Amino acid sequence: MTPYQSILTTIAKEIATTPITGKVASYIPELAKIPSSKFGMHLYCTNAGHYNIGHQNERFSIQSISKVFSFTLAMSLLGDELFTRIDIEPSGNPFNSLVQLEYENGIPRNPFINAGALLIADVLVSEFSNPKKELLDFIRKITSNDTIAINQQVFESEMAFNHRNAALLNLMKAFGNIRNDIDTVLDLYTFQCAIEMCCKELATAFMLYANGGKLLHNNEQIITETTTKRINAVMQTCGFYDEAGEFSFRVGLPGKSGVGGGIAAIHPGHYAVSVWSPPLNPKGNSELGMYALERLTSLTGLSVF
């Protein structure tokens, strides 16, 4: 059997001596307070259980990783109809860019850049009477953990500096692609980004995508296999903004990052993995997180490629 635990130990040792050039996100002031030295990793294998290292039990702000969960709900609710309002192509642009949206008539490139996730939030506001509760309940269900919640300080901190996301919403509204009140949609989006989870919880939640849309512990089918396949494809091509190619090239897994320094990734049929290290590279992805996952797929020989 693959010696998963000793591979994680090797990765943690390497990480401890790898120089960091990245910076902890500071445009959301509350995130800048997190020590850059935090590092945790949790590997959850379909047939071989849990392995972990470092601060893997400490919750952090999942930020854009939440976009996978909101997209999952929107896909389940609307199916293909969703794709009249949003595309599924890599953006090749920074996560919070406004540029493409202007010349593409308010249709976001994909659900994992901010414009796309804001549009998905608009869909959830239309479809649910209490979208915050529905989203949180969904995450709690797939994680089997009712204590998952938001960090109120992070929520307020981002709300106070949300001008760019408000601009994205206004631009899409001007093109007729946002149907609800802008403040309501912004509130939901900022809420979902402020959800906190630890590496173990994220790996458990992402097992859904590694396991064909079924919960591993009881085989309950939460989303269809087709929906799962599609979400994984979008993670592969769009999960890392303008670094999606680099992540595929180095790591070779579908995944999603967040500016809290987390990355969750999957190998369908094999494992879900999550890593946390706050310093971000210039593209907004965890610098050491990417390194750790690159080492994981190299040392185990298990990537989708």
Mapped to the 3 state alphabet, what secondary structure does 202-263 carry?
HHHHHHHHHCCCECCCCCCECCCHHHHHHHHHHHHHHCCHHHHHHHHHHCCCCEEECCCCEE
Per-residue CA distances from 105 to 33, 99, 178, 215 (Å): 38, 11, 12, 38
CB of 235 to ligand GLN, least distance (A): 14
Kindly tell me which of 51 and 189 has the beta carbon lying closer to ligand GLN. 189
CB of 37 to ligand GLN, least distance (A): 20
Per rule CB under 6 A, is residue 211 in the interface with ligand GLN?
Answer: no
Residues in 238-267 at the binding interface with ligand GLN, rule: CB under 6 A = 258-259
Both structure tokens of 167 = 């601009």
Q: How far apart are alpha carbons 88 and 120 in whole angstroms?
A: 13
Q: How far apart are alpha carbons 294 and 303 in whole angstroms?
A: 9
Residues in 133-172 at the binding interface with ligand GLN, rule: CB under 6 A = 158, 165
CB of 165 to ligand GLN, least distance (A): 5
Kindly tell me which of 177 and 286 has the beta carbon lying closer to ligand GLN. 286
Kindly tell me which of 201 and 243 has the beta carbon lying closer to ligand GLN. 243
Per rule CB under 6 A, is residue 22 in the interface with ligand GLN?
Answer: no
Residues in 73-112 at the binding interface with ligand GLN, rule: CB under 6 A = 95-96
Per rule CB under 6 A, is residue 279 in the interface with ligand GLN?
Answer: no
Select the residue whose beta carbon is closest to ligand GLN and give its number: 64
- Using CB under 6 A, pick the residue from 284, 286, 289, 303 that binds ligand GLN: 284
Per rule CB under 6 A, is residue 119 in the interface with ligand GLN?
Answer: no
CB of 69 to ligand GLN, least distance (A): 13
- Using CB under 6 A, pick the residue from 185, 193, 199, 202 that binds ligand GLN: 193
Name the site residues for ligand GLN (rule: CB under 6 A): 63-64, 95-96, 114, 158, 165, 193, 258-259, 284
